Structure 1
């Protein structure tokens, strides 16, 4: 096929790195309509097909759903079942060639190949030479690996694939991500499988689902795009934490530490109800002031209600969950992103000395209310900049906070009097707690 010389020249001038388009070409390019009508455009394959609208019920949408379902069924059939996993362990034990003094069973590469030959085709694809090399490099034993490492890798790989397939069932668009409604449907469907939730009444399930989904989106969608990637869900470890609730014999301490557990979810919701003094299902600024130690500054609370979504000036449960997650995880980048937005009063993307002074005024109010010893703002400001070590000595960016490793302390002393006073009197507290250590440090 002979190409139009004008189009060839146009593309050469635009694409070749050593050629720049002339001013005439820039001012008078070939019209797009003429380009599209040219025969050469018929040879360019279409590489993107917009997914059909999920709300429509046409043939194309139904075909896409059916193809997606068949694909997931096929992937499910490729997974190892319990019987195959048990068989793998038995074969590994049978071919282990050495037992260390502490009871570790080791296997060499020749025996590893025998294991590969003895397992099913489905299992064999997990036992690669690359896997052996990676495990051997960190095993600490020359030319050998622990059979538990091989088995645990296989187990984790199967679990991740199961998780991905399970989540993908709710990915109705087949694009590799879940919307909030998709995640809610997934949680609703797996609740019966979570043994630890048997004590939770049915009436609380909707609040429980909201509590669970909010943590996923708080940490995996900090920019509020309204969707999270399935691969991010699996990599985050949050799903594994949620599925720990299948173990009904888990100790009480671990349940209390797990955000998704029944005691934790009931505690968060109970705190919300206790703060709601007028029982209207929402929290006013005055009601939120009682959260935690009740020493958040008035300046900080004002900014929370300025920046966060409210309804007629009051906060709903979903917004409250964001607030709780941010304050309970102040060392995490996602929480710092949330808190920095509140601290950045002028929306400049950085904090200055005047910004710090704006929040320090709230601390001063409580210092006077407690008749405590006054604190110099200049000293505090210098300490904060010393802790952050920002690139610009007059500005603190979000990235500066994340990088410094002292972000939790910096944020806390600006928004909460209790934390501020503990920081100011940290040497006295250390001495009262352990006088001997304090004396040695002196």
Structure 2
């Protein structure tokens, strides 16, 4: 908009004319409206900084939060209502049982109003310790003396040795060991025959390792490992599983079925080595244990009575799904399956090419020694890799299958070797739209962005874990591939909300468990209907 100046003004009188003094006062400091708004915004931030800090103090200390009183000289426009209720509407009202305060009573003795002139400066919250320096020789001796004193005070009440319950409580409190590790350590030190553990045997074990100044993961590792070896094997975790089966309240219902106890323990150990033993050697090292979440899972066992809430490794529902899936394929129930059995997995979703690669033991040598047979341990590796292709172990499993020449790269010619069978299967399906190989390659290239065009390395897959499974599904799992191609974005969004925070494996296990449980309920109802209310041997006449 142009501003018309009166005739004869100093601006129109010439370029060198000077402005009158009054005109200089009227010139704004910020000629741009946006800059003026920025100035107001900065001023508002400075005025309210102390108010916000005081409110944060109330939140951190657990005191009820009140809306800030307007500063002196500030008035709310009559055209717009106060907006303080908007700030605090997200917090629920106080419980009726909460202590009532008089309107004249301040929230805290240090603060009687929330005006900027009377607010305290908020101190910085202390950060959790993130650097743990090695203790000095003097510090080690002091910590050692303190540890020995605490152990002595515990054993003073038990001069003839500690029984199981007080011993487990002692190592949990003094040594910070999870309860299930404490039960395992008791069995180890007592030899499984004695009912007590002496102070001398405990101190000898604890100081010889040495464990007094070791981190928690090191202490747990050395409680399991055998003397003379620096790794854990399957058998080293069996005492832990015995403790969990005997003492965790979530598994009491299994005590009457020794066979399923054994299978549950085996499955959990296989799952632990599947995720933690990244080298795949069957020898779990301390370094691998440090990089895992195994300790967190053990600590979760202490907090959760429902073992199904411990999704990592120990969930009984997960074991139930794995075992039932294997049982469905193992028709003769000899705990071995062949190519034809595995071909029925997932309603025949897998291609014959990938099944051949699995039975050629390319991704992993079988534990089953009979030719052409897959054992239960091998099936656990397979199903964990098939149902969650985003884990590192699964990516390595399937990468080795597809990398035909084992040169560390997957190229289009190797993809075509597997996709050709998929294409023929799609052509034979009614009402199925064929997806051309060129389209698949282009789509996957855009998803994964390989460092070298036309050559997918394992590193490329691990950089794009959520999308990596799509390539493998396209190559050998027709059911999952077609579901992705025909996906409904609204249904996917709803599913993502329902299973938020769960891995692909957790989601699969949850769905399958409810399906299997529903089938069992229907079967029981059917059997009861056939037998009648008086049992199978009694007819309606009561004979």
TM-score (norm 1): 0.59
Report the counterpart of residue 42 of structure 1 in structure 2.
Answer: none
245, 265, 276: which one pairs with 1:220?
Answer: 276
Cα distance, 1:159–1:105 mapped onto 2, change above 3 Å: farther
1:211-260 CA-partner distances (Å, limit 9, x unpaired):
111122112223322211235335411243245344564386x35x4541
Secondary structure, in 3 states, of the residue corresponding to 1:145?
coil
- C-alpha separation between the residues in 1 aligned to 2:469 and 2:319? 24
Deviation of 1:352 (Å):
0.7
- C-alpha separation between the residues in 2 aligned to 1:339 and 1:188? 33
Secondary structure, in 3 states, of the residue corresponding to 1:236?
coil
Deviation of 1:322 (Å):
0.5
| Contact 1:297-1:366 at 8 Å conserved across structures | no
Secondary structure, in 3 states, of the residue corresponding to 1:286?
helix
Deviation of 1:346 (Å):
2.0
Report the counterpart of residue 273 of structure 1 in structure 2.
Answer: 327
| Contact 2:278-2:288 at 8 Å conserved across structures | no
TM-score (norm 2): 0.49
- C-alpha separation between the residues in 1 aligned to 2:304 and 2:377? 28
| Contact 2:250-2:307 at 8 Å conserved across structures | no
Of residues 298-307 and 157-166 in structure 1, the stretch that sits farther from structure 2 once superposed is 157-166
Aligned length: 296
Residue 483 (structure 2) pairs with residue 422 (structure 1): yes
| Contact 1:163-1:234 at 8 Å conserved across structures | yes
Residue 440 (structure 2) pairs with residue 383 (structure 1): no
Report the counterpart of residue 145 of structure 1 in structure 2.
Answer: 126
- C-alpha separation between the residues in 2 aligned to 1:189 and 1:432? 43
226, 238, 255: which one pairs with 1:184?
Answer: 238
Report the counterpart of residue 395 of structure 1 in structure 2.
Answer: 455
Report the counterpart of residue 258 of structure 2 in structure 1.
Answer: 202
Report the counterpart of residue 386 of structure 2 in structure 1.
Answer: 327
Report the counterpart of residue 342 of structure 1 in structure 2.
Answer: 401
420, 423, 429: which one pairs with 1:361?
Answer: 420
Report the counterpart of residue 59 of structure 2 in structure 1.
Answer: 102
Deviation of 1:354 (Å):
0.6
- C-alpha separation between the residues in 1 aligned to 2:339 and 2:269? 25
| Structure with the bigger percentage of helix | 1
Deviation of 1:417 (Å):
0.7
Cα distance, 1:208–1:251 mapped onto 2, change above 3 Å: closer
- Bigger radius of gyration among the two: 2
Cα distance, 1:334–1:350 mapped onto 2, change above 3 Å: same
Report the counterpart of residue 51 of structure 1 in structure 2.
Answer: none
- C-alpha separation between the residues in 1 aligned to 2:397 and 2:280? 11
Secondary structure, in 3 states, of the residue corresponding to 1:172?
coil
Deviation of 1:393 (Å):
0.8
1:310-363 CA-partner distances (Å, limit 9, x unpaired):
532111000001111212321111210111111112222111111111111221
How large is the RMSD of aligned CA atoms in angstroms? 3.4
- C-alpha separation between the residues in 1 aligned to 2:61 and 2:218? 32
Residue 315 (structure 2) pairs with residue 261 (structure 1): yes
1:400-419 CA-partner distances (Å, limit 9, x unpaired):
11113421222222221112
Of residues 331-340 and 215-224 in structure 1, the stretch that sits farther from structure 2 once superposed is 215-224
Report the counterpart of residue 82 of structure 1 in structure 2.
Answer: none
- C-alpha separation between the residues in 1 aligned to 2:297 and 2:244? 14
| Contact 1:327-1:335 at 8 Å conserved across structures | yes
Matching of residues 15-414 of structure 1 within 5 Å: 100-104=57-61, 142-145=123-126, 158-159=176-177, 161=215, 164-173=218-227, 176-200=230-254, 201-247=257-303, 249-250=305-306, 254=309, 257-306=311-360, 307=362, 308=364, 309=366, 310=368, 311-371=370-430, 372-405=432-465, 406-414=467-475
Secondary structure, in 3 states, of the residue corresponding to 2:475?
helix
Structure 1 residues not aligned, in runs of 5+: 1-97, 107-140, 435-442
